[in-house]
Amino acid sequence: MSKSNKNLNKEFGLASWAIDHNTIIYVLIGVILLLGGKAYYDMPRETFPEIKETKIYISAPYPGNTAEDIERLIIDPLEDRLKNLSSVVEIIATAQEDYGIITVEFDESIAVEAAKQKVKDEVESEKSSEDWPTFNGAKVEPNVFDL
């Protein structure tokens, strides 16, 4: 073997060895995959905590209106009512042309269904007021939902 071939083999020593002993490499990869699968299977469940979502969303489509109109006619009145609810942490509202959405975040101490019902009650109460906007003869119908 010439001197240049010896230098080439030294340069790629581990790679050359792995190519020459590919059966051992396949066995090592298999063992690593099996151990990884076992570790995943044996992982305690508290490693995957239950995430409690405490946000309620109100969407209000109002076709043919500007963002300013939606904010003035729908968003602001609903925000005024919702900010008085107990356990409210934050209210975020967005108005755009033809559509408005309000996100109400509650404290984690309140159940999501109870929070949703509180929000629905406030929306229905505001909707029953005389100055609530109409579209094609019917009152604008906000949708209350959680994810």
For residue 12, the model assigns a pLDDT of 74
Q: Do residue 31 and residue 95 come from a single domain?
A: no
Q: Can you tell me the distance from the alpha carbon of 74 to that of 127, in angstroms, rounded to the nearest whole number?
A: 9
Q: Do residue 31 and residue 60 come from a single domain?
A: no
Q: Do residue 89 and residue 18 come from a single domain?
A: no
Q: Do residue 77 and residue 99 come from a single domain?
A: yes
For residue 138, the model assigns a pLDDT of 83
* Inter-residue contact 87 to 110 (CB < 8 Å): yes
Q: Do residue 40 and residue 67 come from a single domain?
A: no
Q: Do residue 125 and residue 60 come from a single domain?
A: yes
For residue 8, the model assigns a pLDDT of 55
* Inter-residue contact 18 to 25 (CB < 8 Å): yes
Burial class (CB in 10 A: 0-12, 13-18, 19+), 133: middle
User: What confidence tens digit (pLDDT) does each residue in 47-97 have?
Assistant: 667 777 889 999 999 898 899 999 999 999 999 999 988 889 999 999 999
Q: Can you tell me the distance from the alpha carbon of 138 to that of 62, in angstroms, rounded to the nearest whole number?
A: 11
Q: Can you tell me the distance from the alpha carbon of 114 to that of 133, in angstroms, rounded to the nearest whole number?
A: 27
DSSP state of 28: H
Q: Can you tell me the distance from the alpha carbon of 18 to that of 127, in angstroms, rounded to the nearest whole number?
A: 73
Q: Can you tell me the distance from the alpha carbon of 47 to that of 5, in angstroms, rounded to the nearest whole number?
A: 53
For residue 9, the model assigns a pLDDT of 53
62 beta partners = none
Q: Do residue 107 and residue 124 come from a single domain?
A: yes
Q: Which domain holds residue 139?
A: 55-146
More confident residue, 78 or 1: 78
* Inter-residue contact 132 to 123 (CB < 8 Å): no
User: What confidence tens digit (pLDDT) does each residue in 9-42 have?
Assistant: 567 788 888 889 999 999 999 999 999 999 998 8
* Inter-residue contact 54 to 112 (CB < 8 Å): yes
Q: Do residue 10 and residue 73 come from a single domain?
A: no
